[in-house]
């Protein structure tokens, strides 16, 4: 159902709302990535979500709301920081993990006593929550292990025939999943980096730390620390081609990728390269895809998942990527890219 034009076609929103109220599933756009929605208070709907995605049922879902009061309805011991963060960043790409009460069933929270909640900044998503009267449990609308969907066509590729409807709101804005913060401990802790970065959070709540389970050392390990967000423990976002990130000074990165590509092609492999608009012309071989422009770091976040899907379609055996540790979104971009690469990096 096409809801990409304003004013939004309210008939489609009503139809999708009816599906949700009856316990069915609807994929919908948010500003980060597409979500696969069901009524968050309905445990059968949550079970269907896990089934459609092929997702392990111990990996909890995010509950999407349209009013701050809904956060109060489903949580207990809500800290003051929740209100401060909501005032600063909601609606927007920030998810807060809080202690849950009995309103949200364990099927939605993967058995946890906490619940992850976010108010998305997308008119279709907000209209759907309001019209249905449901708080909507929604993971990213991809098959488990595939890149998150940033266009309705990605959702269609993964979930067609498995869900009742897709609301097509066009390409999303941000392209990476929301920042997740844990508010259940003394210090606000980032469980998943995203568009809302550490500096932005510190301005609002003071001390903020990174979950040690997602901080990798130069050996490519977390020194044994396990990520607190269950979803960050799984191998995720992995393209079919074997991805390696090459980082260092630009000229050396380019010459290294050119050498590695030539060698791999000699061995009969099909190679893909993730380049920027400034560097693409300097690669001589391989399937070169332009991710964006370093000066506009949002463009890189925006295109990353689409590029990974394109390489799957091109059936490349090997992918080499430049590194994108840009100032604001670099932490989020590199978190996803390193995961897709299984942490494989070459420093030059």
Name which of Mg ion, ligand TXA, none residue 97 binds, using a CB cut-off of 5 to 8 Å depending on partner kind.
Answer: ligand TXA
Min dist CB 182 to Mg ion, Å, is 17
Nearer to ligand TXA, 191 or 275 (CB): 191
Min dist CB 273 to ligand TXA, Å, is 28
Q: Which residues bind Mg ion (CB under 5 A)?
A: 140
Could you give the angle at the alpha carbon of 94 between the alpha carbons of 335 and 118, nearest 5°?
Answer: 125
- Closest among 173, 178, 165 to 9, alpha carbons compared: 165
Residue 140 labelled as part of a binding site = yes
Bridge partners (DSSP) of residue 244 are 320
Nearer to ligand TXA, 110 or 286 (CB): 110
Name which of ligand TXA, Mg ion, none residue 303 binds, using a CB cut-off of 5 to 8 Å depending on partner kind.
Answer: none
Name which of ligand TXA, Mg ion, none residue 307 binds, using a CB cut-off of 5 to 8 Å depending on partner kind.
Answer: none
Distance between CA atoms of residues 75 and 116, nearest Å: 10
Min dist CB 147 to ligand TXA, Å, is 11
Residue 114 labelled as part of a binding site = yes
Q: Which long-range contacts (CB under 8 A, 24 or more apart) does 215-220 make?
A: 216/338, 216/343, 220/343, 220/344, 220/345
Could you give the angle at the alpha carbon of 182 between the alpha carbons of 323 and 132, nearest 5°?
Answer: 100
Ramachandran angles phi, psi of 104, nearest 5°: -95, 125
Nearer to ligand TXA, 301 or 316 (CB): 301
Instruction: Write the CB contacts of 263 (distance below 8 Å, at least 6 apart in sequence).
Output: none
Min dist CB 148 to Mg ion, Å, is 5
Nearer to ligand TXA, 118 or 151 (CB): 118
Q: Which residues bind ligand TXA (CB under 6 A)?
A: 30, 32-33, 35, 59-62, 95, 97, 109, 112, 114-116, 118, 120, 138-140, 177-178, 180, 191, 228-232
Distance between CA atoms of residues 21 and 132, nearest Å: 7
Residue 178 labelled as part of a binding site = yes
Is the Cα dihedral 310, 318, 277, 335 positive or negative?
A: positive
Name which of Mg ion, ligand TXA, none residue 298 binds, using a CB cut-off of 5 to 8 Å depending on partner kind.
Answer: none
Residue 41 labelled as part of a binding site = no
Min dist CB 216 to ligand TXA, Å, is 17
Residue 138 labelled as part of a binding site = yes
Nearer to ligand TXA, 201 or 316 (CB): 201
The enclosing H or E element of 274 equals strand 271-276
Min dist CB 14 to ligand TXA, Å, is 21
Residue 148 labelled as part of a binding site = yes
Residue 144 labelled as part of a binding site = no
Ramachandran angles phi, psi of 316, nearest 5°: -75, 150
Distance between CA atoms of residues 17 and 14, nearest Å: 5
Q: How far is CA 210 from the centre of its chain?
A: 17
Nearer to Mg ion, 84 or 162 (CB): 162
Residue 221 labelled as part of a binding site = no
Show binding-site residues for L-threonine: 32, 64, 138, 178
């Amino acid at each position: 159902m096409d809801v990409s034009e304003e004013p939004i076609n309210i008939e489609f929103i009503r139809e999708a709302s009816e599906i949700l109220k009856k316990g069915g599933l609807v994929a919908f756009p948010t500003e980060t990535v597409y979500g696969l929605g069901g009524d968050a208070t309905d445990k059968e709907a949550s079970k269907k979500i896990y089934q459609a995605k092929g997702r392990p049922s111990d990996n909890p879902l995010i509950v999407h709301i349209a009013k701050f009061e809904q956060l109060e309805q489903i949580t207990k011991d809500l800290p003051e920081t929740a209100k401060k963060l909501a005032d600063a960043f909601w609606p927007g790409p920030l998810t807060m993990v809080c202690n849950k009460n009995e309103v949200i069933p364990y099927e939605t929270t993967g058995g946890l006593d906490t619940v992850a909640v976010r108010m998305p900044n997308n008119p279709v998503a907000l209209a759907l929550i309001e019209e249905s009267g449901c708080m909507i449990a929604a993971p990213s609308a991809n098959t488990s292990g595939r890149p998150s969907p940033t266009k309705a066509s990605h959702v269609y590729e993964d979930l067609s025939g498995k869900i009742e409807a897709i609301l097509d709101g066009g390409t999303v804005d941000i392209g990476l999943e929301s920042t997740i913060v844990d508010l259940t401990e003394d210090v606000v802790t980032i469980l998943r980096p995203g568009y809302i970065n550490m500096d932005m959070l510190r301005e609002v709540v003071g001390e903020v730390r990174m979950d040690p389970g997602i901080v990798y050392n130069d050996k490519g390990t977390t020194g044994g620390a396990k990520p607190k967000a269950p979803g960050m423990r799984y191998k995720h976002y992995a393209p079919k081609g074997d991805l390696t990130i090459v980082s260092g000074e630009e000229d050396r990165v380019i010459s290294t990728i050119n050498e590695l590509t030539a060698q791999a092609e000699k061995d009969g492999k099909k190679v893909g390269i993730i380049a920027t608009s400034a560097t693409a012309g300097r690669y001589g071989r391989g399937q070169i895809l332009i991710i964006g422009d370093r000066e506009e770091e949002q463009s890189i976040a925006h295109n990353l998942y689409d590029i990974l899907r394109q390489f799957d379609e091109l059936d490349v055996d090997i992918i080499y990527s430049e590194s994108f540790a840009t100032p604001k979104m670099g932490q989020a971009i590199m978190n996803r890219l390193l995961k897709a690469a299984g942490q494989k990096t070459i420093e030059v």
